[in-house]
Structure 1
Amino acid sequence: MLKSYLKTAFRFLLKNKTFSFINIFGLATGTLCCLYILLYVQDQYSYDKQHNSVKNIYRLTTDLVLSGDKHHSATSSPPIAPALKKDFPEVQNVTRVVEVDKLGAKEHLLRYKEKSFYESEAYLVDSTFFDMFNYNFVEGHATHALDDPYSVVLLKTTADKLFGSENAVGKMININDAYGKHDFKVTGVVDESLGKSHLHANMFITMKSSSTGVSIANDNEWAGNNFLFTYVKLRPGADPKTLEKKLPAFLLKYASQKLKQLGMQKELHLQPVTSIHTTAGFDIEPTKTANPSFLLILVLIAVLIQVIACINFMNLSTARASKRAKEVGVRKVVGAGKYDLIKQFLGESFILSFIGVIIALPLLWIVLPYFNDITHADIRLSFFADYRLWLILTALIVVTGLVAGSYPAFYLSAFEAIKVIKGNFNSRISAIGIRKILVIIQFVVSIVMITCIIIIYSQLSFIKNKDLGFDKNQKVIFNFYTDDAQKQMPALANDLRQIAGVKAVNSADNYLSQFVMHDHGVYPAGGNMATAIDAQNIASDQYFIKAYGIKLLSGRDFIPGDSNKVIINTTLAKRLNLNAQTAPGARLYSQFGNGPLTFVTVVGVMNDFNYNSLHDAVRPFMVEYDGNAGDMSSIIVSTNSKDYKALLTQIGAIWHKDLPSVPFEYSFMDSEVQKQYETEITLSNIINSFTIIAILISCLGLFGLAAFSAEQRNKEIGIRKVLGASVSGLVSLLSKDFLILVGVSFVIATPMAWYGMSKWLEAFAYRISLSWWMFALAGVMAVLIAVLTVSTQAIRAALANPVKSLKTE
């Protein structure tokens, strides 16, 4: 019986080549996209699953309310971790991690004998780090790897660059960065073969190293200094919710007085470590996370593309039912039951689905680099090593086979044998209605995706062209990562100012578009820290305003010698209840911990500018004068030169003179600003690519239905031509029904797209307004696509010789 079913299925496929091609190609293309997206999403959710007792590992997060501003932070204060272990017996272990790249030491010069290079992504960690987190030790052992001061564990790629094929453990290397120059002993080499982690680093340095690490480890600030990541491992059976309920009393025990002094509200929460990579919304993260809404959109796209491919199968199978009606009748007469026929047609659907997957796999292998490029991922196909890939493939075959074949199977198996054999078969009205509904679903999906492209592109264009309040163009950025290099910055900055075409050279501890790490509360005369406004700040020399082209609303720019002077933005002035015009001259006070009361004097008020991405509204901000360029980490060169090649050649010559041992590396401000929107750009690229594929699959189905419709009406067309119908009239006749379906699709798709994109735009503090033309353009594009698809078959039918279709009448 099975052999008979298979033989019949393959005969039908070979006899109806166009039908088979459309179905197999559609299923293969849909499966290709669906498989990649599922692999990508599965990869994003696979982070941190490799750690022992991972269900008991949590990260401590902090919710802060300071001066009315809410902060949702993945970091916490240094003394909390040891106190947790001391006060709560359910806490088995704790460890702390400091991402030094965000604390000023962005790059680290590694040196071993004659080899030296810069490396980023270094963490200062407690000695208990490898007791909690599992990394594969290629060399050395996790136990006691970070017990001794000045110990370092290297990622294998970093160790290979330093030592080549030599063993690394036991060797001494020198690490030179903004914290100074020190010798470290390599105690281990790890790789990430056990699985990906949100804590990806090239170097794990013990917290006991240098005065910086020691001061962090011994820091006793409970309210402020929320800059390190704290992890706790609970004992088996301990309930994290019960522990979390105890944390408010725990915090008040140690920090109530300081919180009251600062006017701060603080809450601690436990976050499962396995959810970190797929949770968004925290102020600071060690690595880039995957927004769960973004992943949900991807899964939705995968499902919709696969559904479109299944719809093609259902439509063409029911449309061509008359071709198989007599086969069904004969099988029923010789004893086949309804469920035998259902199994036969479902089996054919599974065969097509299986063929689609078999074709999709090599295609996926070919296009994998392209897909990885648009998603910025590193998905690899390991067919025999990863059982999850086989589970996904099996699930795709089964689900696709059932979805695509269920309706045709039940529809075809329901034919009445006697009527079919007598030739009384007519396509059922119900089947025609179902086909129309399925075509509408296809074009609803296509129109929604086209609308998304238009709106996302419009928002990105708005972001690109919006006046940020500062000039991001023609700015060259140079970063300085070592103490030695920073000492040469004043000489380099002075030399750069002599180059023709250079308007200004600014030295600062940060540059605009980068996360501002420093903030503290300030208040005017008559206030206190309980009423202070939290202001982000950077330190800069006197060229900040000139370099960025920022407008001063009142007061003056910095001048040399402006010790303890600041320029504030209008948002900070308003929050401090200062008049922007009269604010210059006002003193702003602050106090940190038990330290002395300090103050700065406002010398100018600048217009607000978007120093961070347009996802967030402008926050209180100030620039503090620091005339010592050797304390800075960045130089921003503002230029009006149009010949960048010549300019960079000149800068390079000066660089090699002043910094002969430092690599000449630079970036451009407009590119750095653009990097803030990588998620949106990635989403745009993904939707662009998969929308084209969805439209291609929809058009294949529409092409098949149009061809079938023309075939069914060939005698009608012949009679109309004989009676004088024009080609344009016949094309209009054959296309009208399909265009009506596209029109209905547009009516359904528009509110869906409007709702979805309105929600997406809510993530931006500055955004476009949705306009009618965006939806109308999507509708027009859908109509044009449908017309081009259907008209090819309609024109072909209209131009056919009527004699051929009428000669048997």
Structure 2
Amino acid sequence: MLKSYLKTALRFLLKNKTFSFINIFGLATGTLCCLYILLYVQNQYSYDKQHKDVKSVYRLTTDLVLTGDKHHGAASSPPIAPAMKSNFPEVAAYTRAVKTDMLGAKQHLLRYKEQSFYETGAFYVDSTFFDVLSYNFVEGHVQHALDEPYDIVLVKSTAEKLFGRDAAVGKIININDAYGKHDFKVTGVIDQSLGRSHLEGNMFISMKSGAVGASIANDDEWAGNNFLFSYIKLRPGADAAALEKKLPAFLNKYAGSKMKQLGMQKELHLQPVSAIHTTAGYDVEPSKTADPSFLLILVLIAVMIQVIACINFMNLSTARASKRAKEVGVRKVIGAGKFDLIKQFLGESFLLAFIGVIIALPLLWVALPYLNGITHTDIRLSFFADYRLWLMLASLVAVTGLVAGSYPAFYLSAFEAIKVIKGNFSSKVSAAGIRRSLVVFQFVLSIVLITGIIIIYSQLNYIKSKDLGFDKDQKLVFNFYTNDAQTQMPVLANDLKQLSGVKAVSSADNYLSQFVMHDHGVYPEGGNMATAIDAQNIACDQFFMKTNGIKLISGRDFMPGDSGKVLINQTLAKRLNLNEQNAAGKRLYTQYGNTPASYVTVAGVMKDFNYNSLHSDVRPFMLVYDKNPGNFSCMVVSTSSKDYKMLLSQMGAIWKKDLPAVPFTYSFLDSEVQKQYETEIVLSQIINSFTLVAIFISCLGLFGLAAFSAEQRSKEIGIRKVLGSSVSGIVQLLSRDFLLLVIVSFIIATPIAWYGMSKWLQAFAYRIPLSWWMFALAGVIAMFIALFTVSFQAIKAALMNPVKSLKTE
């Protein structure tokens, strides 16, 4: 029986090549996109699943409310995790980590014999790090790997750059960075073979090393200094929710008086380590996370594309039912039951879905580099060794086959044998209403995706063109990673200023568009820390305002020799109840711990500018004058040259003279600003690409239906031509029904798209208003696509010789 069904299905597919091609190619294309998106999402959710007893491992997170400003942080204060181990028997172990770029060391110059290079991604970690979090050791042993000061564990790729294929453990390497030069002993080499982690460093350094370790070990600040990523591991049977309920009293015991003094509210929470990578919204993370709403959008797009492909199958199968009506009738006469026929047609649907997957796999192989480029990730073919992939493929075949084949199977199996054999078929089999509904559903999905493209593009274009309050164009950014390089910054700045293409040069401890790590509460005379306003700040020289094109509202800019001077933005002036025009000369106080209050003097008020992304409003901010170049780690150069090749060549020569041991590297400030919107840019690229695929698959189905419609009405067209109808009139006749369906689709899709894009835009503090033309343009594009697809078949039918269609009448 199975052999007979298979033979019948293959004969039908070969006999109806156009129908077969549209169905198989549509399913293959949809399956390729759907499979890649599912692999991408599965990859994002696979982070941190490898840790031993992972369900017992949690990260401490911190919610702060400081003078009305809310902070949702992934880090916590240094003494909290050790105290939890001492206070709560539920806690079996703890560990802490801090990324060195959060402490001012963004890159590190590694040297072993004659081999040297800069490396990023370094963490200072407790000796218990590898006891709590699981990494695969390819060299060395997990026990006691970081027990001693200046022990270091390297990632395999970093070790290979230093030592090649030689053993790494036991070797001494030198690291030169913002903390100076130190020798480190390699005690282990790890790789990612167990799985990826949100703590993806290239090297893990013992927390006991040098000044950093001493500072953290002696840090007893419970309220502030929330810069360490702290992890705890619970004992078997311990209840994380019950432990979390004990944390308010625990925190109040050690930090209650200090929080009251600072006017701070602080809460601790336990976050499952396996959920870190797919949780968004924390102020600081050790690595880029995946927004779950973004992943949900991707899954919805995958479902949309696969559903569109399934709709093609259903539409074309029911449309061509007349080709199989007599087969059904004969099978019923010779004893086939309804269930037998349902099995046959569902089997054909599963066969097509299976063929689609078989074709999709090599296509995915070829398209993988392009798709990885769109998503900015690295999905590898090693995934194909994962049993979960094969479960995914089997699920795709099963779901696609069932969804695509269920309606045609039940529809075809319901034919009445006697009527079909007698030829009384047309009145029963048209199912035109169902087909129209499916076409409408297809185009609703397509129009929603097209609208998404238009609105996302408009928002990104708005971001690019919006006046941020500073000048991001024609700015070069240089970073300095070692003490040796930092001491040469004044010399380099003076030499660069001599170039004709350089307008201004400024040095600071950060540059605009980067997360501002430094903040502290300030208050005017008559206030106290309980009423202080938390202000983020950047330490800089006197050229910062000029170089970055920041406007001054009142007061004056920094001058050489200034000491204890700050420039505040309008938001901070307003929050401090200072008059913008009269704020210059006012003192702002701050106090930490039991030390006496210190103060700075306001030199001037800056116009508000978006120093961070447009996702959030401008916060209280100030520039702090610092005359010590050793505190700076970056330089911004404002240029006026149109010949960047020449200018960069000149800068490179000066760099080589002033910093001969440091590689000449740079970036453009406008590119750095754009990186803040990487998620939105990736989403835009994904929607652009996969919407084209969805439209293509929809057009395939529409093309097939138009061909079927023209075939069914061939005699009508012949008669109309004989009676004098023009080609344009016939094209209009055949196209009208489909265009009406697109109009209905547009009416349904518009409120859906409006709701979805309104929710998406809420992630931006600065956003475009939704306008009628965005939705109208999506409708016009859909109309044009449908008209173009249908008109091809309509024109072909209208130009056909009527004699051929009428000769049998």
The TM-score normalised by the length of structure 1 is 0.99
2:250 maps to 250
- How far, CA to CA, are the matches of 1:350 and 1:217 in structure 2? 63
Q: CA deviation at 1:535?
A: 0.2
Matched, 1:69 2:69: yes
Give the direction of change, closer, same or farther, for the CA distance of 1:484–1:64 in structure 2 (3 Å limit): same
Alignment partner of 1:413 is 2:430: no
Counterpart for residue 537 of structure 1: 537
Look up the equivalent residue of 2:150 and give its one-letter code: Y
Mapped partners of 1:257, 1:680: distance in 2: 43
1:747 is aligned to: 747
Could you tell me which amino acid in structure 2 is paired with residue 418 of structure 1?
I
Farther off after superposition, 588-597 or 448-457: 588-597
Identity across the alignment (%): 79
What secondary structure sits across from 1:428 in the alignment?
helix
Give the structure 2 partner of residue 52 of structure 1.
Answer: 52
* Offset, 1:427: 5.0
Aligned-pair distance for 1:596? 2.8
Residues 319 and 430 in structure 2, CA contact (< 8 A), matched pair in contact too: no
Q: Which residue of 2 aligns with 1:422?
A: 422
SS of the residue aligned with 2:382? coil
The alignment status of 1:379 with 2:387, answered yes or no, reads no
Tell me the CA shift for residue 217 of structure 1.
2.6
Per-residue deviation, 1:383: 6.4
Distance in 1 separating the partners of 2:501 and 2:161: 39
What are the Cα deviations for residues 243-267 of structure 1, in whole angstroms up to 9, with x where unaligned? 0000000000000010000000000
Distance 2:766 2:94 in 1: 41
The code of the aligned residue for 1:135 comes to: Y
Q: CA deviation at 1:720?
A: 0.6
Aligned twin of 1:136: 136
1:218 Cα offset (Å) = 2.3
Larger mean Cα displacement after TM superposition, 96-105 or 189-198:
96-105
Gaps of 5+ in 1: none
The CA deviation at 1:647 is 1.1
Output one character per residue of 1:722-745: Cα deviation in whole Å (capped at 9) or x when no partner. Answer: 111111110010011100000000
Instruction: Report if the CA contact (8 A) 2:321-2:429 is conserved.
Output: no
How far apart are the structure 2 equivalents of 1:383 and 1:72? 35
Q: What residue in structure 1 maps to residue 103 of structure 2?
A: 103
Match of 1:403?
Answer: 403
Inter-partner Cα distance in structure 1 for 2:168 and 2:482: 24
Q: Give the conservation status (yes or no) of the 8 Å contact 2:105–2:178.
A: yes
Distance in 2 of aligned mates of 1:433 and 1:235: 62
For 1:142 and 1:250, how far apart are their aligned partners in 2?
Answer: 32
Give the corresponding residue for 2:459. 459
**1:581 is paired with a residue of what secondary structure?**
helix
Q: Which amino acid aligns with 1:228?
A: L
Shift of 1:530: 0.3
Matching of residues 425-504 of structure 1 within 5 Å: 425-428=425-428, 431-504=431-504
Please state how far the C-alpha of 1:498 moved relative to its aligned partner.
1.4
What is the CA deviation profile of residues 157-195 of structure 1, one whole-angstrom value per residue up to 9, with x for unaligned ones? 000001111111001111111111111100000001110
The letter for the 2-side match of 1:323 is: K
What secondary structure sits across from 1:382 in the alignment? Answer: helix
Match of 2:280 in 1: 280
Give SS of 1:60's match. Answer: strand
Does residue 737 (structure 1) correspond to residue 726 (structure 2)? The answer is no
Distance in 1 separating the partners of 2:454 and 2:326:
49
1:182-232: CA deviation from partner (whole Å, max 9, x where unpaired): 111000000011100000000100100011222113210000000110101
Which residue pairs with 1:575 in the alignment? 575
Residue 692 of structure 2 corresponds to which residue in structure 1?
692
1:39 equivalent in structure 2: 39
Q: Mapping of 1:321-720 within 5 angstroms? A: 321-382=321-382, 385-428=385-428, 431-720=431-720
2 CA distance for matches of 1:255 and 1:226? 13
Query: How many equivalent residue pairs?
Result: 809
Corresponding letter in the other structure for 2:673:
V
Whole-Å separation in 2 of the counterparts to 1:607 and 1:171:
54
2:305 partner letter:
I
Q: Which residue does the alignment assign to 1:181? A: 181
Once residues 201 and 383 of structure 2 are traced to their aligned partners in structure 1, the CA distance between those partners, rounded to angstroms, is 28
Contact between 1:139 and 1:169, CA under 8 Å: does it hold in 2? yes
Q: Tell me how far 1:385 sits from its aligned partner.
A: 2.0
CA-to-aligned-CA distance 1:475-517 (integer Å, 9 cap, x gap): 1111000011111111111111111121111010000000000
Question: Deviation of residue 429 (structure 1)?
Answer: 7.0
Aligned to 1:119: 119
Aligned-residue offset at 1:620: 0.3
Inter-partner Cα distance in structure 2 for 1:228 and 1:430:
68
Partners of 1:226 and 1:383 lie apart in 2 by 38
Find the aligned partners of 1:594 and 1:118 in 2 and give their Cα distance.
Answer: 41
Alpha-carbon displacement from aligned partner over 1:361-380 (angstroms, at most 9, x marks no partner): 00000000000000011111
Question: Partner of 2:696: helix, strand, or coil?
Answer: helix
Q: Distance between the aligned counterparts of 1:155 and 1:214, measured in 2?
A: 25
RMSD of aligned Cα (Å): 0.8
Measure, in 2, the Cα distance between the counterparts of 1:508 and 1:719.
Answer: 82
Q: Which amino acid aligns with 1:700?
A: L
2:203 & 2:459 partners in 1: Cα distance? Answer: 39
1:229 match:
229
Q: Which residue of 1 aligns with 2:8?
A: 8
Letter paired with 1:550 = I
- CA 721–627 in structure 1, closer or farther in 2 if over 3 Å, else same: same
Question: Which residue number in structure 2 is paired with residue 761 of structure 1?
Answer: 761
Q: Which amino acid aligns with 1:786?
A: A
Q: How big is the shift at 1:594?
A: 2.5
Q: Distance in 2 between matches of 1:87 and 1:383?
A: 43
Residue deviations 1:16-46 (CA, integer Å, cap 9, x gap): 0000000000000000000000000000000
CA distance in 2, matches of 1:335, 1:773: 59
Cα distance in structure 1, aligned partners of 2:178 and 2:755: 49
Go from structure 1 to structure 2 and tell me whether the alpha carbon gap of 1:584 and 1:383 turns closer, same or farther (over 3 Å shift).
closer
Distance 1:4 1:329 in 2: 17
How far 1:630 sits from its partner (Å)? 2.5
Residues 321, 427 of structure 1: 8 Å contact kept: no
2:756 & 2:248 partners in 1: Cα distance?
Answer: 38
1:322/1:427 contact within 8 Å kept = no
- Contact 1:47/1:195 (8 A) holds in 2: yes
Q: Distance in 2 between matches of 1:428 and 1:733?
A: 24
The answer to whether the 8 Å contact 2:717/2:730 transfers is: yes
Moved more, 213-222 or 720-729: 213-222
- State the distance in 1 between where 2:472 and 2:672 align: 9
| Structure 2 SS opposite 1:504 | strand
Structure 2 counterpart of 1:20, one-letter code = S
Q: Is the 8 A contact 1:383 1:390 kept in 2?
A: no
State the alpha-carbon separation in 2 of the partners of residues 284 and 291 from structure 1.
14
Alignment-derived partner of residue 785 in structure 1: 785
SS in 1 for 2:585: coil
Gap change, CA 1:525 and 1:488, over 3 Å in 2: same
Query: Which residue pairs with 1:207 in the alignment?
Result: 207
1:11 offset after TM fit, Å? 0.4
1:27 and 2:33 correspond: no
Stretch of structure 1 that moved more, 459-468 or 490-499: 490-499
- CA distance, structure 2, for counterparts of residue 782 and residue 588 of structure 1: 59
Shift of 1:654: 1.1
Give 2:725's aligned residue: 725
Report SS of the residue matched to 1:208: coil
Contact 1:318 / 1:408 at 8 angstroms: preserved in 2? Answer: yes
Aligned partners of 2:26 and 2:565: how far apart in 1?
67
Q: Displacement, 1:384? A: 5.5
For the residues of structure 2 that align with 1:440 and 1:382, how far apart are their CA atoms?
40
Q: CA deviation at 1:102?
A: 2.1
The residue identity in structure 2 corresponding to 1:734 is L
